[in-house]
Amino acid sequence: MNKPTKVILLFFIVLSFIIAVSGAYSFYVNLHKADNCTEEVKGICSDIKVSRHDRNSSNKHRGDSYYKYTPVFSYEYNGKKYEREYGIHYSEEDKDTFREGKEYVLYVNPKSPRQFIVEGHEEDVDTFAIIGPIVGIFMFFMFVFIYLVVKKKC
């Protein structure tokens, strides 16, 4: 195996390992979010961010796209104002889960006030917390397998 091929494969092995670890950490944080977010505050849904995603990049002009809706909350904790995206993206069917301008009860993590959960949505899990570890582990083993195959053949 030549050196550039080895370096590229090792780079992707390390990158996929980092994705798996950061995804696993995100999953861990999401599991314990309800335990850590204990300080009740009032928050306002200040915005609903809408992002368009194309299902197939070659069909951009055929209307083959979908939208994701991400609520943004404004709240104050210990005299400091925060405005944060909720980290959960909602589909077209669930876009009305939150209403812009409406007040909600939030629970803030006192150690990290940028982390919060919305009352009634304690079980919501960030998308990356689920997809990150799965994709990272799959990529890791795939690149290790490729590395071993290429090393054996060369």
Neighbours of 68 (CB within 10 A): 16
Confidence (pLDDT) at 102: 96
The better pLDDT of the pair 139, 65 is held by: 139
Instruction: Classify the phi-psi angles of 144: left when phi > 0, otherwise alpha if psi is within -120 to 50, otherwise beta.
Output: alpha
The better pLDDT of the pair 54, 101 is held by: 101
Strands lying side by side in the sheet with 80-85? 80-85, 65-77, 39-54, 103-109, 112-118
pLDDT more than 70, % of the chain: 93
Distance, in Å, from the CA atom of 89 to the CA atom of 97, rounded to the nearest integer, reads 11
Mean pLDDT of 16-21: 94
Q: Of 34-38, 85-89, 106-110, 130-134, which one has max mean pLDDT?
A: 106-110
Q: Is residue 20 predicted with pLDDT exceeding 60?
A: yes
Confidence (pLDDT) at 7: 92
Confidence (pLDDT) at 62: 54
Residue pair 88/127 in contact by the 8 Å Cβ criterion: yes
